[in-house]
Amino acid sequence: MERIEIYDTTLRDGAQAEEISFSLEDKIRIALKLDEFKIDYIEGGWPGSNPKDLQFFKEIKDYNLKHSKIVAFGSTHHPKKNPENDENLKHLLLAKTPVVTIFGKSWTLHVKEALKTTLEHNLQIISESIKFLKAHVEKVFYDAEHFFDGFKEDPEYAITTIKKAKEAGADCIILCDTNGGTLPYEIVKIIKEVQNRLGKEIPLGIHAHNDSECAVANTLIAVNLGVTHVQGTINGIGERCGNANLCSVIPNLVLKMGYQCSSGEVLHKLTEVSRYVYEIANLPHPSRLPFVGSSAFAHKGGVHVSAVLKSPKTYEHIDPILVGNVRRVLVSELSGKSNIIYKAKEFGIELEIDSPLLNKIVSEIKKLEAEGYEFEAAEASLELLIYKLMGEPKQYFELLSYKVFDLKVNKEFPKAEATVLVRVPPGVGEVEHTAALGNGPVNALDNALRKALERFYPQIKEMELEDYKVRVLPGLPGTASKVRVLIISKSKNKKWGTVGVSTDILEASCQALIDSFTYKLFLDKRKK
């Protein structure tokens, strides 16, 4: 099988996505991570569009990239200028990259309406721009912008534009579905026609957008037809609905289609790279991303889990280890014994299939979930529950009582104060009576509990609450409804979730907080 070039445009096309804003330092960090993942080409940005991108090209030279080549991106020269005095082309050369990518117009609509020039002059612009750049850099890639839309409207002209690029010396011609509206069967027809008209002397590339949810499919089909250069972004981030997702494209090419690419040699880093980009962007990692999402290999139904325990292939299309992901078994009202056995094993607890204890655990979990508890994201609460049912409760303190006051005077911001009575250790220990203020009643309760426990367990200071979610459960109407509180806590490099359910939001929060503090103390004791 032929080797496929992977070209990443996360730092340029991906940065155009809503909610994404990379600083210069962010771009450097991502580039280094992409180099570690053996991406062949990293498009660093458009040096002619903003000072930050130009600075990126200057600073990235201070780093010794082991594999990737940095690419500067820009457009063909302005219709009213020539290459020698065009500012955009000058900035491309100032970037001093070994490879430059420029885009030009393939669609007659854009030539006439956007460039405001003639069809013939557009062909001249494409040719002159490529020839000028070829005299100064190692490689020039030509992005045929809106090629598929242009072909549908005027196939002869669209083909002529890329012929001009070929004649001018472009090292690769990338066919772009810029509006993302082309469907797979159209991709097949158009690429075959391009190959017939251009011959196979020059490599072809594909750059697909995802507005019709076909970017990955279109990319894979293009490769299957002989395209050897693939463009996309990590996690598919990009303008509007995004770009072809390299985190899906690369494993499909390597594991399903048998192609080779440099990133395939380190495919086990795929999930790490995916998470890294979202972390740098300060956005949550989508759980349902194929291959790399936390739900990609998650099993919930008891029948599924039972089968997966016997043979993972029954419900997994690949081994998650190949892409650096992990198999997860969820515990819910759909759970059978297999789920609990698997989950308990993750906690270091061995349970036998015919154990009365296993029946007791399954029964208790289903009873609690019927009351509104959910353990899928609250595995710390689940682990503590299993130990409790085993007769080994993890208890380090006892909350005897709590009071919470929320005072609102005129237009002043409400003030919350919580008072707690805590006994350490439970049953026979010393009683601590503590009060604390907070931004709202739950925060006040959290602060008061921390204050009470820190005298006995100083390590509580290492722990912080990372997320707090409240869900109103169906049942009683309106404000009389039950609520479920989910708390995500963090200490050092460890995160865990806990849950509480009640018709009283403070009581539900208190349950989740107690489990969270308890689990922290349990973790620390287990390490010793």
pLDDT-derived band at 478 (thresholds 50, 70, 90) equals: low
pLDDT of residue 480: 64
pLDDT of residue 471: 85
Burial of 196 per CB tally in 10 Å (0-12, 13-18, 19+):
exposed
pLDDT-derived band at 14 (thresholds 50, 70, 90) equals: very high
Tens digits of per-residue pLDDT, 26-61?
A: 999 999 999 999 999 999 999 978 888 999 999 999
pLDDT-derived band at 223 (thresholds 50, 70, 90) equals: very high
Which residues lie closer than 8 Å to 184 by C-beta, 6 or more apart?
Answer: 214, 217, 218, 221
pLDDT-derived band at 271 (thresholds 50, 70, 90) equals: very high
CATH T-level fold of 5-280: TIM Barrel (3.20.20)
pLDDT-derived band at 309 (thresholds 50, 70, 90) equals: low
Q: Is the pLDDT reported for residue 307 higher than 90?
A: no
For a pLDDT cut of 70, what percent of the chain falls above it? 95
pLDDT-derived band at 336 (thresholds 50, 70, 90) equals: low
Name the average pLDDT for the chain: 91
pLDDT greater at residue 106 or residue 340: 106
Q: Are strands 415-424 and 398-407 parallel, antiparallel or unpaired?
A: antiparallel
The DSSP 8-state label assigned to residue 202 in this structure reads: S
pTM of the model: 0.73
The stretch 128-149 carries a mean pLDDT of: 97
CATH T-level fold of 398-527: Double Stranded RNA Binding Domain (3.30.160)
pLDDT-derived band at 346 (thresholds 50, 70, 90) equals: confident
pLDDT of residue 153: 96
Domain chopping of the chain, boundaries? 5-280, 298-370, 398-527
Q: Is the pLDDT reported for residue 253 higher than 90?
A: yes
Which residues lie closer than 8 Å to 310 by C-beta, 6 or more apart?
Answer: none
